[in-house]
Chains A and B, each alone.
Chain A
Amino acid sequence: MSRFFHGDSSSESSSDEEELYSGNEAEPKAEAESSEESSDEDDDDDDSDSSDEDGAKGTGASRFLRDDSDESEEEDEDKVTVVKSAKDKRFDELEGIIRLIENAEKISDWGAINDHYDRMNRQLPTLQRDLDGKAPKMYIKTIAELETQVTEAFEKQKVTPKKMNPIAAKGLTALRQKIKKINREYTADLEAYRKDPEEFMKEEIVEDTAPAPKKTKSKLLQAEQALDANDDGFTMVGAGGKAMIYTPESILKHLRSIVESRGRKNTDRLEQIKIMERLLDVSVTDYQRVRVLITLIATRFDLTSGTGSQMSQEQWKLAQEGIAQLLGILEQEPGIVVIEGAEEWEDDEKQPVVGQDDLVKVPGSVVSFVERLDDELTRVLQSIDPHTAEYVERLQDEGSLYIDLVRAQLYAENLKGNAKLEASQENINRVVMRRLEHLYFKPSTVVNTLEENTWKAVPENLDSKVSPRSVGHDVQDLVQVLAVYLFNNAEGILRGRAMLCQIYFLALHDQYYKARDMMLMSHLQDTISTFDVNTQVLFNRTLTQVGLCAFRAGLVYECQTALQDICGSQRQKELLAQGLQIQRYSQITPEQERLERQRQLPFHMHINLELLECVYLTCSMLLEIPTLAQAGSSPDLKKRVISKSYRRMLEYHERQIFTGPPENTRDHVMQASKALAAGEWKKAADFITYIKIWDLLPKAAEIKAMLEQQIQEEGLRTYLFTYAPFYDTLAVSNLADMFDLKEQKVTALVSKMIHHEELAAALDQVNGAIIFRKGVELSRLQSLALTMADKAQNLIESNERVLEQRTQGTSNAFERQPQRGRGGGRGGRGGRGGAGQFRGRGGGSGFTGGALGSAIRAQ
């Protein structure tokens, strides 16, 4: 017993309570004090000395007031003359420091004030604990005075030319900043003090004595039930230092006090959790358990309220178990419902009776708890290095989380089913969405196992209306059912998310056409910019997944277009929320960066970026190389760029003087591109199939075969584009040999090219040959001339724009400034008549529009 007190004496409470303790308790108390005293002796000496001096010097109202407070304490001391409580000692100390500060103020020794101020602030937390989280009045008074003093001194220093001594000046600035920071916390108290100092100080006395009766009561409680609560001879000690005994009757009261202290500063949440665990053991009725659990779970979540910290695994597990327990109770006892917006049970003494016709409503939300649990797990996973065992360990918790999710869903459905409760649809939607979000990115085998385990864990008698037990066996159906449910019942963002999740799932399971149709019919691409960032990320992920799905299906063009936006931008990481991209010239504020960090997906949800890049580059290669060959050297065709990033890489690769054997994925694709452009399809195919990352895809062999075939076909096209001018005729069988394709395939490809007017040729089916026509293509001079005409037109247009700027957009620019000595003006003079004639004849032949154009023509 003494050990408890010894450790806890620092948080000891008022002295009048001590009187009631038996003698053997007081002794260790004194012991504790003496040890403390010896350690503080030096300080105390200083303090008392200075306080003596100060006593004579103090003048004015403040002096009087402090005397007043001194007296009040002396009154307290009168009662306990034998031992001076630790609390009083601390107050004395505080007083001493305050005197020192006042002393130093008089001589403007700001350095010293700064030191003392720091000391005072160090003491404050313990003092505050003594006063139930309130700062001592003396303290408030001091800081209020200090603030005014400091402001004055600071102003004075600004005006007077004389320099302060550097130490004092430094102290002043430091002090000023500290005061600014700290005083913010006590704004209310300070205002009260400023309004009426005397009234404020007086209050203290009243408050000091106020808590006494309450404590006596708890003390009595202890006396009564000490024995049955503590078998092992130890007493539970509460936050106030008093021994606490918990009975089923007092549970609600304890809970109330805990709930009230929630959110306050300096509340020891771990301590509260311990109390509540204890309360849970003691509680007898389901109602009590539900109440305690709700508060307990909330407090556990409160443990990590900061943005930087994550829940420890232990606490998370406990919270999870708590939720499971809560759900278990609620499932068994239909008389109690936990629902949002229910009225608080005000009477602590009496407990509601369960079992009658009317339901007992308890305020709270199971769905919110489960959501919070989910969020916490996500946050933990975000912060752990994904390549450690810890990550896997934490990831395993997802199973139990999923069980809770399903049970919460059942419960929410149950509530909804109860007509009397008017439970909102929103809860079900939220929890179903959560469930869907845990499913959509997983392969069906994983989901199957998850579902099986879940339904095993859920009590037999329960079933869901939204997603019945039977649906769980077919994952596709399950996802479909959940998404459709949300689509029918939810609205806005949830609907969009449900849709995206389903599309993602379909794409993941190789149902490209279905996924594509849904993607297109949803028209989400039109509205996605109005959604929140997380949904946008989901949209990007879905789009990427659809692209990958198209690739697996061998649809190169579709894949490239789907991936273009994500991969072509060099911001894949940011767009998919898979890691922060460090931008060189970024102006991201720390706030933005923090938000960005919060958005990151946990590693197990990531889409492999390297695979993504590889797929994108390969598709780009298959599309770009024939296009490049087709464009040849003609200048205007160069504009047709399919993938800018691919072109850039290709250019970079071509600039290199020496190219070694390929090392990474990009090198492989680039070298394959080169080989393909030269018509060496075999080499290109080797380069591509050698890329290791294909093995990550399911059915890698099939995909490699698909790629090889694509390379053959595109190689053939490239070859024809490049070398057609050198042939008069070409046997189809030759081509077929060259590219290891069937003759029918070659014929089909060539026919297609002829039809698209990509190739000026005809098929001679009798002899099995391609006959090329000559002279159909534009000569170089002709294409150059065309480009030239374009350029000239652009030039004229830009000139006109400049002119328009100068003339403030007047329609007939030349009329306004006919005599300007500029070249254009001169032309205009001759041209005005001409332009008029042209217009009269019905506006020229369309060479260019505008005034300048006709002016030039008329010249």
Chain B
Amino acid sequence: MATDPKIADSPIREIQVEALVVMRIIKHSTTSFPTPATGCLVGMDIGSQLQITNSFPFPASNPENQQTNSNPADPYHQSDQAALSLAAPRAKSSATYAGEMIKYLREVNVDAQGVGWYMSCSMGNFVSQAFVENQAFYQRGSEEKTVALVFDVSRSSQGSLNLKAYRLSPNFMAALKDNKFSTESIQKSKLRYQDIFIELPITIHNSHLLTSFLHQMPAAPPQKSALDFPASLAELHHDPNIATNPLAPNLESLDLSIDPFLEKTTDLMLESIEQHTTEQNNASYYQRSLAREQTKIKQWQEKRKAENVLRGQQKQPLLPEDEWQKLFKLPVEPSRLELMLVGRQVEQYARQVDGFNAVVSGKMFGVRGNLLPGEIA
């Protein structure tokens, strides 16, 4: 990954996340699931490495805090929880909250530099306008080194941690700053949906204390030379050697669960395609109306020209020929941003399925290897 030219441009090239942060994010995200959870990351940057040492949730993304900021004039009004928590990172109240929080953290000697934010998602459906705006909010500064961590709750529940770090590419940032997503500007900047994000490699760092604890865990490997196969699943569960040992191989992780995963992904993908079709319709509608307007303008210009020729013959002053700008109003081109995001989202889903397949095949080969002892032994 380090060879990726995109990463080379970025001020940060790798992310180091403290295990504590990972645990916090997991906890926060799973409790608020299915509403996405958002929170602030603190830490420091050393050269091209960004170390994330602590995190705290934004109050708006916490369902329990919901009551406090409800509108007193309309107590029954409930704004959409998901939208609210997605908007939290760039909300003003969150910014002050984060400032306060960082101040307190400094007092207890914790790294006190905001280095980004995190959010949770389900099945990789994080690519949205809100996400882009949030990250753009953090990435506005000139000397910033911020990152967005995305934790996928649904996929992590299947046994393997799914935590990704993203930044917006400088190209995309420039386009977003001018809010120019017309066909022309996109063509000029050669911006593609693949270029929206830069994914950064993550390493998880355990404190020395924790590492030594892990090393000291009382886990004597099985003494027996030959494994006697368990008679049933129940016996396996009751085996004290496995049940009490947290580090013993977990059978759950062999669970394939192909159908629910693929169903969900396909559902989401269908949704995205639907959205894409809508956007495409918008675009083609725009194109049709543009063509209509242009023919009108052309007609008008020709008429005006003919009139001017006539006037020239009669030695009358010519009429201005650029009046059409006042008379006709071209339709506003719809932003292509949404379309690009949809494209990126579909790509995300596709990659997800790809990755899933790799894991599933790995698992299946693993199981097969054990089930057919003759082949290996």
Question: Contact between B284 and A779 (Cβ–Cβ < 8 Å)?
Answer: no
12 contacts between A and B (CB under 8 A): A635-B270, A780-B263, A781-B262, A784-B266, A788-B266, A788-B270, A791-B270, A791-B273, A791-B274, A798-B277, A821-B187, A821-B190
Q: C-beta contact mask, B167-202 vs A, less than 8 Å → 1, else 0? A: 000000000000000000001001010000000000
Question: Contact between B284 and A802 (Cβ–Cβ < 8 Å)?
Answer: yes
B250 at interface (Cβ–Cβ under 8 A)?
Answer: no
Question: Contact between A788 and B269 (Cβ–Cβ < 8 Å)?
Answer: yes
Question: Contact between A785 and B266 (Cβ–Cβ < 8 Å)?
Answer: yes
Indicate the size class of the contact surface on chain A: 10 to 19
Chain B residues closer than 8 Å to A821, beta-carbon distance:
187, 190
Contact A784 B273, CB 8 Å, known A779-B259, A798-B280, A823-B192: no
Interface residues in A766-785 by Cβ distance below 8 A to B read: 779-781, 784-785
Interface residues in A691-748 by Cβ distance below 8 A to B read: none
Interface residues in B314-341 by Cβ distance below 8 A to A read: none
Among B190, B266, B276, find the residue whose CB has the most chain A CB atoms closer than 10 A: B266
B267 at interface (Cβ–Cβ under 8 A)?
Answer: yes
Chain B residues closer than 8 Å to A791, beta-carbon distance:
270, 273-274
Question: Contact between B276 and A795 (Cβ–Cβ < 8 Å)?
Answer: yes
A783 to chain B, nearest CB (A): 10
Chain B residues closer than 8 Å to A493, beta-carbon distance:
none
Q: C-beta contact mask, B86-104 vs A, less than 8 Å → 1, else 0? A: 0000000000000000000
B343 to chain A, nearest CB (A): 9
Chain B residues closer than 8 Å to A205, beta-carbon distance:
none
A792 at interface (Cβ–Cβ under 8 A)?
Answer: yes
Q: How far is the CA of A788 from the CA of B350 in the complex (A)?
A: 13
Q: How far is the CA of A779 from the CA of B276 in the complex (A)?
A: 26
Chain A residues closer than 8 Å to B262, beta-carbon distance:
781
A787 at interface (Cβ–Cβ under 8 A)?
Answer: yes
Chain A residues closer than 8 Å to B284, beta-carbon distance:
802
Chain B residues closer than 8 Å to A780, beta-carbon distance:
259, 263
Question: Contact between B263 and A784 (Cβ–Cβ < 8 Å)?
Answer: yes
Question: Contact between A784 and B267 (Cβ–Cβ < 8 Å)?
Answer: yes
Residue of A nearest to B273 (CB): A791
B282 to chain A, nearest CB (A): 13
Q: How far is the CA of A785 from the CA of B259 in the complex (A)?
A: 11
Question: Contact between B270 and A781 (Cβ–Cβ < 8 Å)?
Answer: no
List residues of chain B with CB under 8 Å of any chain A CB.
187, 190, 192, 259, 262-263, 266-267, 269-270, 273-274, 276-277, 280, 284
Q: How far is the CA of A795 from the CA of B274 in the complex (A)?
A: 10
Chain A residues closer than 8 Å to B276, beta-carbon distance:
795
Contact A792 B273, CB 8 Å, known A781-B259, A821-B190, A823-B192: yes
Q: Is the interface of B mostly helix, strand, loop or mixed?
A: helix
Chain A residues closer than 8 Å to B187, beta-carbon distance:
821
B87 to chain A, nearest CB (A): 28
Residue of A nearest to B190 (CB): A821
Question: Contact between A795 and B277 (Cβ–Cβ < 8 Å)?
Answer: yes
Residue of B nearest to A791 (CB): B273
**With contacts defined as CB atoms under 8 Å apart, how many contacts are there between chain A and chain B in the complex?**
33
Chain B residues closer than 8 Å to A823, beta-carbon distance:
192
Chain A residues closer than 8 Å to B259, beta-carbon distance:
779-781
Top 5 nearest A-B pairs by Cβ distance? A784-B266, A791-B273, A781-B263, A781-B259, A788-B266
Q: How far is the CA of A794 from the CA of B273 in the complex (A)?
A: 10
Question: Contact between A781 and B280 (Cβ–Cβ < 8 Å)?
Answer: no
B268 to chain A, nearest CB (A): 11
List residues of chain A with CB under 8 Å of any chain B CB.
635, 779-781, 784-785, 787-788, 791-792, 794-795, 798, 802, 821, 823
Q: How far is the CA of A787 from the CA of B187 in the complex (A)?
A: 32
Q: How far is the CA of A303 from the CA of B263 in the complex (A)?
A: 78
Among B187, B259, B263, find the residue whose CB has the most chain A CB atoms closer than 10 A: B263
Q: How far is the CA of A788 from the CA of B270 in the complex (A)?
A: 6
Chain B residues closer than 8 Å to A787, beta-carbon distance:
270
B358 to chain A, nearest CB (A): 19
Q: How far is the CA of A788 from the CA of B273 in the complex (A)?
A: 9
B183 to chain A, nearest CB (A): 11
Chain A residues closer than 8 Å to B280, beta-carbon distance:
798, 802
Q: How far is the CA of A186 from the CA of B145 in the complex (A)?
A: 91
Q: How far is the CA of A792 from the CA of B269 in the complex (A)?
A: 10
Q: How far is the CA of A788 from the CA of B192 in the complex (A)?
A: 24
A107 to chain B, nearest CB (A): 39
A658 to chain B, nearest CB (A): 17
Q: How far is the CA of A674 from the CA of B202 in the complex (A)?
A: 54
Chain B residues closer than 8 Å to A802, beta-carbon distance:
280, 284
Contact A781 B266, CB 8 Å, known A802-B284, A821-B190, A823-B192: yes
Residue of A nearest to B259 (CB): A781
Q: How far is the CA of A781 from the CA of B263 in the complex (A)?
A: 5
Chain A residues closer than 8 Å to B267, beta-carbon distance:
784
Question: Contact between B270 and A784 (Cβ–Cβ < 8 Å)?
Answer: yes
Q: How far is the CA of A791 from the CA of B276 in the complex (A)?
A: 11
Chain A residues closer than 8 Å to B190, beta-carbon distance:
821
A789 to chain B, nearest CB (A): 10
Q: How far is the CA of A821 from the CA of B190 in the complex (A)?
A: 7
A848 to chain B, nearest CB (A): 15
B291 to chain A, nearest CB (A): 10
Q: How far is the CA of A794 from the CA of B277 in the complex (A)?
A: 9
Chain B residues closer than 8 Å to A635, beta-carbon distance:
270
B270 to chain A, nearest CB (A): 6
B272 to chain A, nearest CB (A): 10
Q: How far is the CA of A780 from the CA of B262 in the complex (A)?
A: 10
B110 to chain A, nearest CB (A): 45
Residue of A nearest to B281 (CB): A798
Q: How far is the CA of A162 from the CA of B266 in the complex (A)?
A: 79
B348 to chain A, nearest CB (A): 16
B244 to chain A, nearest CB (A): 38
Chain B residues closer than 8 Å to A794, beta-carbon distance:
277
Question: Contact between A795 and B266 (Cβ–Cβ < 8 Å)?
Answer: no
Q: How far is the CA of A795 from the CA of B273 in the complex (A)?
A: 8
B225 to chain A, nearest CB (A): 44
Chain B residues closer than 8 Å to A792, beta-carbon distance:
273
Chain A residues closer than 8 Å to B269, beta-carbon distance:
788
Q: How far is the CA of A821 from the CA of B274 in the complex (A)?
A: 26
Chain B residues closer than 8 Å to A785, beta-carbon distance:
266
Among A635, A781, A788, find the residue whose CB has the most chain B CB atoms closer than 10 A: A781
B332 to chain A, nearest CB (A): 20
B251 to chain A, nearest CB (A): 24
Q: How far is the CA of A787 from the CA of B262 in the complex (A)?
A: 13
Q: How far is the CA of A787 from the CA of B267 in the complex (A)?
A: 10
Chain A residues closer than 8 Å to B270, beta-carbon distance:
635, 784, 787-788, 791
Chain B residues closer than 8 Å to A779, beta-carbon distance:
259
Chain B residues closer than 8 Å to A784, beta-carbon distance:
263, 266-267, 270
A253 to chain B, nearest CB (A): 65
Residue of A nearest to B280 (CB): A798
Q: How far is the CA of A792 from the CA of B280 in the complex (A)?
A: 14
Q: How far is the CA of A519 from the CA of B318 in the complex (A)?
A: 68
Q: How far is the CA of A780 from the CA of B267 in the complex (A)?
A: 10
B283 to chain A, nearest CB (A): 9
Residue of B nearest to A795 (CB): B273
Q: How far is the CA of A784 from the CA of B264 in the complex (A)?
A: 10
Q: How far is the CA of A301 from the CA of B111 in the complex (A)?
A: 102
B289 to chain A, nearest CB (A): 15
Residue of B nearest to A792 (CB): B273
Q: How far is the CA of A120 from the CA of B287 in the complex (A)?
A: 63
A135 to chain B, nearest CB (A): 45
Residue of B nearest to A801 (CB): B284
Chain A residues closer than 8 Å to B274, beta-carbon distance:
791
Residue of B nearest to A794 (CB): B277
B205 to chain A, nearest CB (A): 38
Q: How far is the CA of A791 from the CA of B267 in the complex (A)?
A: 12
B196 to chain A, nearest CB (A): 14
Residue of A nearest to B258 (CB): A781
Chain A residues closer than 8 Å to B277, beta-carbon distance:
794-795, 798
B243 to chain A, nearest CB (A): 34
Residue of B nearest to A823 (CB): B192
Q: How far is the CA of A430 from the CA of B267 in the complex (A)?
A: 65
B191 to chain A, nearest CB (A): 10
